[in-house]
Structure 1
Amino acid sequence: METLANLESFVRSAETGSFSAAARRLALTPAAVSRNVAMLERNLGVRLFHRSTRKLTLTEAGERFLSAIGGTLDTLQAAIADVATDAEQPAGVLKVSLPPTFGVTHVLPLLPGFLARHPLIRPEWHFENRPVDLIAEGYDAAIGGGFELASGVVARPLAPAHIVAVASPAYMAGRTPPVDPTGLAALQGIVMRSVQTGRVRQWTMRDVAGAELPATLPESIVVNDPAAMREAALLGLGVALLAVPDVLPHLERGNLLRLVPRWYADAGAISLYYASRAQLPAKTRVFVDALLELFRRERLAERFAGSLG
């Protein structure tokens, strides 16, 4: 049986959004309130709060637990029994942020089999080109790069984020392929202007020997979305520098050609982000496992490596 001290610490912390404010109401120290809540989470086997230096917010399990708590000890214990099933049975809303093209092309096909195995999970997937704040925005997981690692957030690299030069066979018909990245300047460029900075992104490409050369494309066509760049390249409008996952199916089908195939730009890593491994909800744990299995089965890390030519 849970102690009322643990339960009261949870309820007051949820009401005030702060261990310190809850401590004042309960005539305890903030450390004691935090310890009581941590003990409750450990006993239930689920995380009840998202913690950051700025904010204390309820997880989905925490919200359900709070709403189930009534005025009697019997009601409290029934709520404990209900929420503790999360530790064994994956259930609830699975909120995930994914890059649009990567998510639709490579991750969305997971859903039929995933939902067949875990029918109580309800996906809420946001396809967006931005680093999200997992804790403040209530995401269970996110895929991408450039995320700020707040306290308690885990980053698990999945594959390299390599940028390659592509064009359609129709565009390259009758043109001499460049021998290195500097030759791209002689072709029409499809480039992207950053929404955040207002600048066109410039890349430096490298080869496996470590040599580096600038890949400067003329600003023949300017867009603000990688998917639009890819579609413009497929239409034969010029050369685009794009991440391998965004163009891999078209390269494998021959709809796009890779130019200067020994060269690539390194944009870091594609990573999976989620909250601390401690009391990881079952719904998040099975999603992480399914994604890692996908990358292993499809050899995506190897196929996404522009360094392999």
Structure 2
Amino acid sequence: METLSSLECFVRSAESGSFAEAARRLGLTPAAVGKNVAKLEASLGVRLFQRSTRRLTLTDAGERFLGEVRGGLTSIQSALANLASNAGQPAGILKVSMGATFGHEYVLPMLAEFLQRYPAISPDWHFDNRPIDLIGQGFDAAISGAMELSPGVVARKLAPAHRILVASPAYLAEHPAPTTPAHLAQHAGILIRSPQTGKVRPWALHNREHAEAAIELRTRMTMSDPDAACLVAEMGLGIALVSLPHSLRYLKRGSLIRVLPDWYVDAGHVSVYFSGHRLLPTKTRVFIDSLVEHFDRQQLSERFSALNNP
């Protein structure tokens, strides 16, 4: 097990370029990570890193060694996790990333039943809209509508990721409601900055007839959080483009109304992301299966479709 720990310290240090960052991901001290890597180098008889005050750089031998051991390390860790079950039941810490509001509204409700079914699993759930390195940061899974597929990661679709235009009844009482996408240029826009890029993405609208139109709202303000955009729109300060999962509760209580209900943005899918390695830990597999079952039972795919929410 000592060699396995040293290998994990080496791989995480190589991925992050820093003993300190590897230590943060592994829950160790930087000194412990550096010591484990030094032990590995001593046992192999080669230097794996060139060390500087700013960054670690792999040597040629380190590059070759990383390519040879990274996949094998994942296999061994998965096998150990599957063996370390409690009386044949899935067990261990389940580290999952998801957006805060989305997680609160749509994922947390499954937790009690999930833990009743799998009591030996300990959730370590992170509620954050920022992008993550799923494998590098040691996550078992991530739920997102905008995550790029990095090497070794696969996705299982859960629901459509549709965005719609919304405004408050007060705003629409004071401003003529747009009847075509071209009318949007006359309205104050509440825009959302992407947590992945830090920019406002130029989305295009589509309708049932597959026509396409640009969104040309006048930028009144920009938010980094979809809930903030909904709250500002609720104040009557403009028209916001937000995802259906975030806007559903406002639409249900009538504090926001859909603008141009025949038009929407197709942003792909809400998916659960996980390692594509063949030997997936049992705790991760049962979580994914339970999540899919929960989405089906709650009809979230239908609820998140702009075509079903006029």
Tell me if the contact between 1:203 and 1:216 (Cα under 8 Å) persists in the aligned partners.
Answer: no
Corresponding residue of 1:160: 160
Alignment match, 2:112:
112
- Listed one character per residue, the Cα deviations across residues 196-222 of structure 1 (whole Å, up to 9, x for unaligned) are 655433221010111111111111122
Q: Verify: 1:62 aligned to 2:101, yes or no.
A: no
Deviation at 1:291, TM superposition (A): 0.8
SS at match of 2:200: coil
* In 2: Cα distance, 1:195 partner to 1:122 partner: 28
TM-score by length of 2: 0.73
Q: Deviations over 1:157-184 (max 9, x none)?
A: 1111111000112222243321122222
Contact 1:55–1:136 (CA under 8 A) maintained in structure 2: no
- Structure 1: distance between partners of 2:267 and 2:254: 24
Q: Which amino acid aligns with 1:201?
A: R
* Distance (Å, rounded) in 1 between the aligned partners of 2:214 and 2:166: 16
Whole-angstrom distance in 2 between the partners of 1:285 and 1:196: 27
- Does the 8 Å contact 2:78/2:280 carry over to 1? no
Asked whether the 8 Å contact 1:61–1:83 carries over to 2, the reply is no
Aligned residues: 263
Cα RMSD, aligned residues only: 3.6
What does residue 215 of structure 2 align with?
215
Distance in 1 between residues matched to 2:190 and 2:152, nearest whole Å: 39
Alignment of 1:4-15 (within 5 A): 13=7
Describe the shift of the 1:16–1:136 C-alpha distance in structure 2 as closer, same or farther (beyond 3 A): closer
In structure 1, the partner of 2:88 is 88
Which runs of 5 or more structure 1 residues have no equivalent in the other structure?
A: 1-6, 28-51, 66-79
Instruction: Tell me the amino acid that sits aligned with residue 70 of structure 2.
Output: L
Q: Does 1:271 align with 2:285?
A: no
Q: Is the 8 A contact 2:78 2:281 kept in 1?
A: no
Measured in 2, the distance between the counterparts of 1:250 and 1:111 equals: 24
Note the residue ranges of structure 2 that are not aligned, 5 or more in a row: 13-38, 46-65
- Indicate how the Cα distance of structure 1 residues 211 and 126 shifts in structure 2: closer, same or farther if over 3 A, else same: same
Question: CA 1:62/1:204 → structure 2, altered by over 3 Å: closer, same or farther?
Answer: closer
The answer to whether the 8 Å contact 2:161/2:267 transfers is: yes
